[in-house]
């Protein structure tokens, strides 16, 4: 499985209204309204926000990866957000966040979920990739950056 197989173009957002971590996470989750892969969006909202209460998913360098596992998705789904104005995400390095990658997996696919989180982290830990994403002006450009970067990795099984 490739990252670009679970991240759909319409699940990339570059215009946000929120200014807090919870508002931004809710806007990201709202990307999945009407998605046939999602059977209960409110359960997803609860799972992701509860996970965030345990420990911030703001991993540092302006990047966060809110995630969760629930059987209210029929397969792994992902969303990406580029914030024009960075927000406090209670990140591990204390810096504000403006790149957010959301991942929702099924409860029984823990191994695949962890592998995908690892792949996202490897890609996002590259300063050049973060700079490209921050300078992107469209959802298509963001998707292309992920496609280009992922071509350097083996497919996840």
Residue 113: active-site member: no
Cβ atoms within 10 Å, residue 148 = 12
Q: Give the start-end residues of each E strand in the chain.
A: 7-13, 58-60, 63-64, 67-69, 77-87, 97-105
Q: What average pLDDT score do residues 134-157 get?
A: 87
CA–CA gap between residue 87 and residue 78 (Å, rounded): 21
Domain assignment present for residue 23? The answer is yes
Domain assignment present for residue 71? The answer is yes
pLDDT tens-digit readout, 30-67: 999 999 999 999 999 999 999 999 999 999 999 999 99
Domain assignment present for residue 110? The answer is yes
Q: What is the CATH number of the domain that holds 14?
A: 3.40.930.10
Q: Report pTM.
A: 0.93
Please give the tally of structural domains in the chain: 1
pLDDT tens-digit readout, 22-31: 999 999 999 9
Q: Average pLDDT of the chain?
A: 93
CA 52 and chain centroid, separation: 13
Q: What average pLDDT score do residues 122-143 get?
A: 96
Domain assignment present for residue 155? The answer is no
CA 128 and chain centroid, separation: 18
Residue 2 pLDDT level (bands cut at 50, 70, 90): confident
In the numeric block, the tokens 């946000």 are attached to: 16
CA–CA gap between residue 121 and residue 118 (Å, rounded): 5
CA–CA gap between residue 1 and residue 157 (Å, rounded): 6
Domain assignment present for residue 157? The answer is no
CA–CA gap between residue 107 and residue 127 (Å, rounded): 32
pLDDT tens-digit readout, 5-15: 999 999 999 98
Choice among 8, 11, 67, 113 that is catalytic:
67
Domain assignment present for residue 24? The answer is yes
Domain assignment present for residue 156? The answer is no
Domain assignment present for residue 64? The answer is yes
Domain that holds residue 61: 3-150
């Amino acid at each position: 499985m490739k990252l670009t197989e679970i991240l759909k173009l319409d699940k990339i957002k570059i215009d946000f209204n929120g200014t807090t971590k919870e508002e931004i996470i809710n806007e990201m989750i709202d990307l999945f309204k009407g998605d046939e892969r999602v059977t209960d969006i409110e359960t997803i909202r609860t799972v992701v926000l509860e996970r965030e209460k345990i420990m911030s998913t703001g991993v540092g360098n302006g990047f966060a990866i809110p995630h969760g596992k629930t059987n209210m998705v029929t397969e792994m789904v992902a969303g990406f957000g580029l914030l024009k104005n960075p927000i406090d995400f209670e990140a591990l390095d204390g810096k504000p966040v403006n790149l957010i990658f959301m991942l929702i997996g099924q409860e029984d696919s823990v191994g695949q979920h962890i592998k995908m989180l690892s792949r996202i982290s490897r890609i996002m830990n590259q300063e050049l990739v973060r700079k490209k994403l921050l300078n992107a002006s469209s959802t298509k450009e963001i998707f292309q950056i992920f496609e280009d970067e992922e071509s350097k990795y083996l497919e996840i099984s």
